[in-house]
Amino acid sequence: AMGSARAFVAAQDYEGADGWEYTGVLSALTADPGMSGLTLGDHVASTFRASGDNTQSVTDLEALPALNDALDRVATALMDSDRGADLWESAVSEAYTFDYTNSDLGNILAALSGAGANGGGDAEVAAAAAEALTAYDAAIFANYARTRQATGLSIYVAGRRFDDQYLRGAWADTKWAEMLQTF
């Protein structure tokens, strides 16, 4: 539930079968039992990444409401744009992808804001994406990745077909979900 935790630690990519390396994390927590949730999350992510996996990041959960609102504004701007579907397709094709249905959110926002290789192309979309990229950057407390294209969070982009199970999540009543169904 909202307010129950401060940090979310997760991999953008699939994790190895060896599990997480807890010795270093628990040693750090024992040495400093009063550390913040974000600092603990950073210890978890950095030691896990050091054990050989590709990606691990720490998201500040208190920053997610602002990011969610900003993503709704991006989705609305895309749906309102005559070029929205093309801009979306271009941004997704430019983004680092993990399995063709989940792509790096930072890459998508950078492309839509005009900072990506294909440029933005629509002032309203670019402005909304730039605002969302700022909110995104505020939400990523730490990011450990073997590839620089992995910026911290992945997002469902539907790929070749929209999976209706996506609509079972708490995010189903967002402009982002509406945009995915529209495009």
pLDDT in tens, 136-153: 999 999 999 888 899 999
Give pLDDT tens digits for 54-64.
889 999 999 99
CB 92 within 8 A of CB 159: no
pLDDT tens string 153-172: 999 998 778 888 888 888 88
Cβ within 8 Å of residue 129, ≥6 positions away: 74, 77, 109, 110, 111, 112, 113, 114, 120
* pLDDT tens digit sequence for 95-115: 999 887 889 999 999 999 985
Task: Please tell me what DSSP assigns to residue 97.
Answer: B
Q: How confident is the model at residue 119 (pLDDT cuts 50, 70, 90)?
A: low
Radius of gyration for the chain, computed over Cα atoms and rounded to the nearest angstrom: 17
Q: What percent of the chain has pLDDT over 90?
A: 57
Q: Is it the case that residue 120 has pLDDT exceeding 70?
A: no
Q: Which of 68-77, 82-91, 96-105 has the lowest mean pLDDT?
A: 96-105
What is the pTM for the complete model shown? 0.90
